[in-house]
Structure 1
Amino acid sequence: MPGASERVTVLVYSNDAQVRAQVRTAVGRRPAPDVGRIDWVECATHADILREMDQGGIDLAILDGEAQPTGGIGLARQFKNELIDCPPLVVLIARRQDAWLAKWSLADDVMHTPIDPVAAAAVVAHHLRVRDNSIPVVR
């Protein structure tokens, strides 16, 4: 995982281009001074996200729980169960009552809509720091 002077790759998945733009705008290019500059990868379809996650190189993924036809909650569960070195997953939820679903999905965190830029940047920075300090998976 890169240091503060290097770049990180954050994937944002939603079938709605406005949601992807809101996430990118809220988090920004650098969510904290001690985290690398973000290179955004956008996925609009189920096939796109499967391809990107299988290729690897994603430091964090933000998944729209309201995406259609495949929601981010189900994808989070799938990735946590199938990927050996799954990056941190943050699920974007519209209803606070859906937090239990995000927990069931094994997501590392949630963001609520409407997106609060301060909270969003803090969540992203936290999980990038945690991944930076974790023990790598050896295959």
Structure 2
Amino acid sequence: MQPSATVLVYSDDANTREQVRLAAGRRPAADVPPVEFLECATLDAVMTALDRGGIDVCVLDGEAAPAGGMGVCRQMKDEIFNCPPVLLLMGRPQDAWLATWSRAEAAVTLPVEPVEFAGTLAALLRSESAVRI
């Protein structure tokens, strides 16, 4: 049996976390492993999960409050050695420059469009930067 990939999903909104799970499904593409989701609603939960390890990709909600995903991403990139790749959920396409500032590997806009999201997540799971920490 193929090992699964762990995808951390950070959003203070349960509906956004559900959109991510439904868009990705159990396997976002045939050539990547099945995914298991670890849902986090707070920055503390994200950092605790990353400290524990075993995360392959992080999906962060740029619209989360009080800690937005863009700032969380930048903090992760500054503080975590071999930080997993990050897929950022943005409220508007015009926020792409903020995704660059945060150092996210990829970004898509909200609401989550399933085909675009699954393809972007699969690309990150295939990437060499998807090193499990």
**Does the TM-score normalized on the shorter chain lie above 0.5?**
yes
Length-normalised TM-score, structure 1: 0.90
- Find the partner of 2:92 among 91, 95, 98: 95
Tell me the CA shift for residue 5 of structure 1.
Answer: 2.4
Tell whether the 8 Å contact from 2:57 to 2:130 is kept in structure 1 after alignment: no
Q: In the alignment, is residue 27 of structure 1 matched against residue 24 of structure 2?
A: yes
- Find the partner of 1:8 among 5, 9, 14: 5
Whole-Å Cα distance in 2 between the matches of residues 44 and 19 of structure 1?
Answer: 10
Q: In the alignment, is residue 86 of structure 1 matched against residue 78 of structure 2?
A: no
Could you tell me which runs of 5 or more consecutive residues in structure 2 were left unpaired when the two chains were aligned: none
**1:3-32 deviation per Cα after TM superposition (whole angstroms, max 9, x unaligned):** x92200001000000000011101111001
Tell me the CA shift for residue 50 of structure 1.
Answer: 1.0
Match of 1:60 in 2: 57
Whole-Å Cα distance in 2 between the matches of residues 31 and 63 of structure 1?
Answer: 17
**1:78-108 deviation per Cα after TM superposition (whole angstroms, max 9, x unaligned):** 1111111110001100111111001000000
- CA-atom RMSD, angstroms? 1.7
Q: 1:89 to 1:136 in 2, by over 3 A?
A: closer
Q: In the alignment, is residue 119 of structure 1 matched against residue 109 of structure 2?
A: no
Could you tell me which runs of 5 or more consecutive residues in structure 1 were left unpaired when the two chains were aligned: none
SS in 2 for 1:6: coil
Length-normalised TM-score, structure 2: 0.94
List structure 1 runs of 4+ shifted beyond 3 angstroms: 134-137
Match of 1:106 in 2: 103
Whole-Å Cα distance in 2 between the matches of residues 103 and 136 of structure 1?
Answer: 21
Q: 1:7 to 1:52 in 2, by over 3 A?
A: same
Tell whether the 8 Å contact from 2:124 to 2:130 is kept in structure 1 after alignment: no
Q: 1:128 to 1:105 in 2, by over 3 A?
A: same
Whole-Å Cα distance in 2 between the matches of residues 115 and 27 of structure 1?
Answer: 10
